[in-house]
Chain A
């Protein structure tokens, strides 16, 4: 070992020790936040907050599938009882009478504070006359049997009025519990106590549902038990699943690609020492990457380790070049080319660091640190360790065969014209739908799970809300008052048939001022009794019969304020929390709007809502959640493109400086650009919309592929050319394997990156070979 080699080894060993201690102490996060971008605008921040932390992020829909309606109802009730007793959930609803009883009792008891009809002359003799008259008509309708028991206490029909104002969609009920319309599933709605970001607690909550379900099955007969299944959906379930999947995938992908590459190299080298030595730069690089991310970001996303598989594919190349093209003067012949290749790769990954997506930014830093480290280890540490005679298989014959193959292939370089033409045609044909415009494209949740979620939500009559009015205010009270005022305007739109309905936190918990004014509209006992006596003139009812009404009205008039505590245990508590959110500077009331039918609001309806909002004194705005989210996504797609173009520009600049010849730069880049065009064409042809990770992948094709193109640009001795070719092909196969493994991932973002770079890297090599200006005669001589 030379002196330099000893020093290198010492630095390496110390560095590894230090890095290992940092990596061991680093914080690893495996939730889905790597996919949630940092949001620029206030509404987008609200949106992202809602997605991550809000009450909506705590809702689980559970479905009990199969079996008989009675068995499902029994299990549904047993699960609800167990979960209510357990304390993991703030809301457990399964539509059973017991669940609804609390809600109904709450609405009925507080009807005079909750009803927005309680104003002005409602309880004057005239107002009472009209309201009681309408209730008497209702008594004779099919609703009559339902209203009759309430009539003496609520002759003005306030409960019905409150219910009318609410959402009209009610889940189907079968055997006494909520069921899907087709009668195959019992449905439960659950809200976790834990915050949407506390994945550990969410996992416990999901576990509690599963164990409550298996406990509930026990009393059933074995055949009945085997027909019943539990389905779960909702953000907490997704968060837990995604975390499990990312944990699982990061490990699986790393092991799988390490194994495949080891197999490849083992069969190429036929030497265990070479294989082990070859993995040293890779392992060191991975360690360096982890340390860089831990220091730079404070925590490492599990997904970064998943992306990090790409590092294995790229950094293994360096030792492959070293071993296969080993010659005494490799430092002067091979290293400069390798160094330039490493620099172009780094330029590509550097473009990811400013990305708004934590996952991508971390991937950039991880790869830069990993590649630099792997290259340095290959250059300064590894050579000193190589035994004098590293007995790897002589790849010269393979290289010469490859040279002949390529020589023959080069005559087919005209094929590039139709290939690129086909690709551009495919891009042209799909030009309208080329780019993905929906944030959902980044969703780490598999499509099948998303479809199940949609179905369960529709069955429960709780569809995803697309439009909501956001009413910001300085305090909780002000937000509630403002929401009530905005609600008045929206009620007009409901009556006009413009919108189907809306929800408001003020509906179940009116602001104190509103409560006060509604109480104030109830006349004192003696006056109300007199009004009632006059009101029933001409109606077929005696004032005496309505004595309970007078008692309730007086109790309401003199009662205390309604607070959040009274909503405890009702489903309105959770709803009201969901619709009243505290943000940085104050509070926001959220009023989700539903369309008149099951679809989205019409553009004209959106316009009329905006007009109605701007007419009011409140600072309310209509938020299009999907539109906003997609706009957010479009911004990130744009950013990914800008970053990719910037990365490409840096690579071009680097090559210009290093090669000092525009012609050579053009020759190096041409096959890479053609590879990118071809891959884009293939993706479009397969109906795949191009998203952020595809764009990033295209940059990586250039960054990684430049290594191969640069070698073809070298003016080597003929014998070296054969070995260069062999090492290039092996290195390329290793890269394609690593990205190919990534393409097989169940996590869409990983799969997108892998399925872009794997074929791209292969094409980069093939196209570089086709376009190379080799000296066939020289190669033939060498053979």
Chain B
């Protein structure tokens, strides 16, 4: 008997999704500080921080705010536990995203979901110090030094970019302090990361 096929995948193809050509003119910064920061991240094995997030959507009058904790275990496990205003759990493990929100549970294989991938992979690859993975999807422009750096990530391939136009990340040494994701329709989200929490 044919089980229902691929229902969940349907949601992965957005209605009338458009994509424009994207110039990927800036190759990964060759600055020594970039390599240094990546090496610092690569040396990290875990992290546990608090976050607050703000989504600004054109559809909504006021931003959606949430807060909670992030847990990272090198190299590819990332957990996002949203506590306020409603509990939500996201677990990324080996490229598979599992999410739970109220009764709604779903699983997304990142490789199958180009619309979701840039949101997740930008943070994961940076945390892992995985410059190769980062540069596979994004042109990286690095500014500043290891003590205080900024990165501008621009998706390389329109097809893989989904709706993301650019991602701005800031941090100090092997710690990300903020991630700002801008979408082509003008929507944006800002993830602010606090200092390391006690284990």
Q: B-contacting residues of A (Cβ < 8 Å)?
A: 55-56, 59, 93, 95, 97, 100-101, 103-104, 107-108, 134, 136-152, 159-160, 163-164, 166-174, 178, 189, 191, 460-465, 468, 495, 503, 540-542, 545, 571, 574-575, 578, 590, 592, 594
> Given the complex, which residues of B lie within 8 Å of A103, measured CB to CB?
10
Do A142 and B6 have beta carbons less than 8 Å apart? no
Do B9 and A145 have beta carbons less than 8 Å apart? no
Q: Can you list 15 A-B contacts (CB < 8 A)?
A: A95-B6, A95-B9, A138-B104, A141-B90, A142-B99, A145-B14, A150-B15, A160-B11, A168-B8, A169-B8, A172-B112, A461-B6, A463-B3, A540-B64, A541-B59
Q: Which one of A137, A146, A503 lies within 8 Å of B12 (CB-CB)?
A: A146
> Given the complex, which residues of A lie within 8 Å of B15, measured CB to CB?
104, 108, 149-150
B106 interface hit (Cβ, 8 Å): yes
Among B115-123, B125-133, B141-149, B171-179, the stretch in contact with A: B115-123
Q: A-contacting residues of B (Cβ < 8 Å)?
A: 1-17, 53, 55, 57, 59-64, 66, 85-86, 88, 90, 97, 99, 101-109, 111-113, 115-116, 119-120, 162-163, 183, 185, 187, 189
> Given the complex, which residues of B lie within 8 Å of A191, measured CB to CB?
2
Q: Which one of A144, A167, A460 lies within 8 Å of B7 (CB-CB)?
A: A167
In the complex, what distance in Å separates the CA atom of A93 from the CA atom of B88? 34
In the complex, what distance in Å separates the CA atom of A541 from the CA atom of B99? 25
Q: Which one of B7, B103, B116 lies within 8 Å of A495 (CB-CB)?
A: B103
Do B14 and A146 have beta carbons less than 8 Å apart? yes
Do B162 and A145 have beta carbons less than 8 Å apart? yes
Distance from A755 Cβ to chain B, minimum over Cβ atoms (Å): 34
Do B13 and A141 have beta carbons less than 8 Å apart? no
> Given the complex, which residues of A lie within 8 Å of B11, measured CB to CB?
143, 146-147, 159-160, 163
Do A171 and B9 have beta carbons less than 8 Å apart? yes
In the complex, the chain A residue whose C-beta lies closest to that of B8 is A170
Instruction: List 5 other contacts, CB 8 Å, given A149-B17, A159-B11, A166-B4.
Output: A144-B55, A146-B12, A146-B116, A178-B6, A189-B5
Q: Which one of A104, A138, A140, A145 lies within 8 Å of B10 (CB-CB)?
A: A104
Using known A-B contacts A142-B120, A171-B5, A462-B2, determine if residue A148 contacts B104 with beta carbons closer than 8 Å.
no
Do B3 and A540 have beta carbons less than 8 Å apart? no
In the complex, what distance in Å separates the CA atom of A463 from the CA atom of B3? 7
Using known A-B contacts A145-B162, A462-B5, determine if residue A100 contacts B187 with beta carbons closer than 8 Å.
no
> Given the complex, which residues of A lie within 8 Å of B162, measured CB to CB?
145
In the complex, what distance in Å separates the CA atom of A592 from the CA atom of B99? 26
> Given the complex, which residues of B lie within 8 Å of A178, measured CB to CB?
6
Q: Which one of B62, B97, B103, B111 lies within 8 Å of A142 (CB-CB)?
A: B97
The 6 lowest CB-CB distance pairs between A and B, nearest first, are A166-B7, A167-B4, A540-B62, A465-B1, A170-B9, A540-B60
> Given the complex, which residues of A lie within 8 Å of B55, measured CB to CB?
139-140, 144
Distance from A524 Cβ to chain B, minimum over Cβ atoms (Å): 26
Distance from A142 Cβ to chain B, minimum over Cβ atoms (Å): 5
> Given the complex, which residues of A lie within 8 Å of B63, measured CB to CB?
540
Do B88 and A163 have beta carbons less than 8 Å apart? no
Do A134 and B13 have beta carbons less than 8 Å apart? no
Distance from A187 Cβ to chain B, minimum over Cβ atoms (Å): 10
